[in-house]
Structures are given as C-alpha cells and as structure tokens.
Amino acid sequence: MLVGSAQQYLSSGGRPLAEGDPQAASSPYSLTKVVQEQMGMMYLNQYGIESIFTRSFNHTGPGQSPAYAVGSFASQIARLELVGGGEMHVGNLDSRRDFLDVRDVVRAYRLLLERGEAGEAYNVCSGVSVRMGDLLGKLLEISTVSDSVQIHEQKLHVSAVTDELVGDPSKISNHLGWAHEIPLERSLGDTLDWYRSTLEDTH
C-alpha cells in the first residue's frame, strides 16, 4: 500500500473531492505523492506488483508531532496551562481541512491491506471540513487557560494556502464498509491530554 495525500488534489471550493477528480502537484511534497502513485501503477501494469493507493486527508490524535497544526496547538496549550496563560503563535486559522482521528485512519489502512483492490486509489477522510480557528477554539474550551491566551496569527502568502480541502469517503465506505468512529472532540481532547502527560513526565 502506498500512502498518498489530500494535497494531490487542488481546492474544490468546498465540494468534497472524489478519487476521479484531477490530480495536480502544487508543491514538491504533493509532486512526490502524485509520482509515487504513477510509479505504483507502472509496476502493477508492467511487473504485476500489486499496489493500493490512499489519498489520506488530515489526521490527528495522541502523539502527533507539534510540526502539525493540532499537535502545535495542543503542545502550546499544555505548556501554557503550566504557567497560567500567555501567547500562542499559529498559522492560517481561516483555512478548512478534513480531519480524522489517526486510530480511524489505521483501521482504514488495515481494511485496505486486507480487502482493497490493487490499482485503486481510496480517499481516507471524514467528508467534513473544519475551520482551523474552530479547532483551536475547541482545544482552548477544554483547557484551563481559555481566558488567558493571546493568539498571534502568522499571515502566509496567499499562494501558500489552499482555502479548503475536503474529501468524499464514499468509495472506501461502499467497497469496504469503513466509516470513521471517533468524534473530532475526542481526538482533540486525547491529543491535549497526551501533551499534558508528556509535560508531567518531564517535571
């Protein structure tokens, strides 16, 4: 199985993206995912080496690196809880993304390995987009410092930001019976709790 990315697609203006939508490499990262899929198809067609492709949208959960948005939010909030508040530095809060809990993603991958069809691509997504600022708000609501944090948003160049990416999970749902089970609120709470426990272990 070759794990791809939602970034293989371009923004659709809010319409859920299906596997038949055109791929377009808009960054070096997305280019590697498009080429990976093309190589997988070449090896399947020429040598019979079977591959299944995922186009995985954003996912999060306990243990996520602070290099990613939710991990960054949660790690900063956990640290601010220790000192009673302060400043947070975040990226674009107006973009919208389709999030899954990583545990639901792992279930999808297992089903694909067991019963996915070689040569086929499958979106792994929820079908719902969420504004990044709303994710941050939900994390702050369950924190102990919701009224003591100042948000500093980094303004990115417009060409660096895709406004919305949301996927259509119909194919994996219809073919394999998969559906996400873990609510976003639980994913956020578990991620914040993981960072809290990590900080406790270092003090």
Give the residue-averaged pLDDT of 184-201: 94
Question: Looking at residue 59, which CATH number applies to its domain?
Answer: 3.40.50.720
Question: What is the structure's pLDDT at 162?
Answer: 61
- Does the pLDDT value for residue 160 go beyond 60? no
Q: Residue 133: CB partners within 8 Å, gap ≥ 6?
A: 93, 94
From 15, 14, 27, select the one nearest 160 (Cα to Cα): 27
Q: For residue 128, what are the domain limits? A: 2-201
Q: DSSP letters of 138-190?
A: HHHHTSS-TTSEEEEEPPPPGGG--SEE-B--HHHHHHH-----S-HHHHHHH
For the packed helices 184-201 and 132-141, what is the interaxial angle rounded to 10 degrees?
A: 60
- If you average pLDDT over every residue of the chain, what do you get? 93
**What are the pLDDT digits (tens) for 90-108?**
999 999 999 999 999 999 9
Domain count, the chain: 1
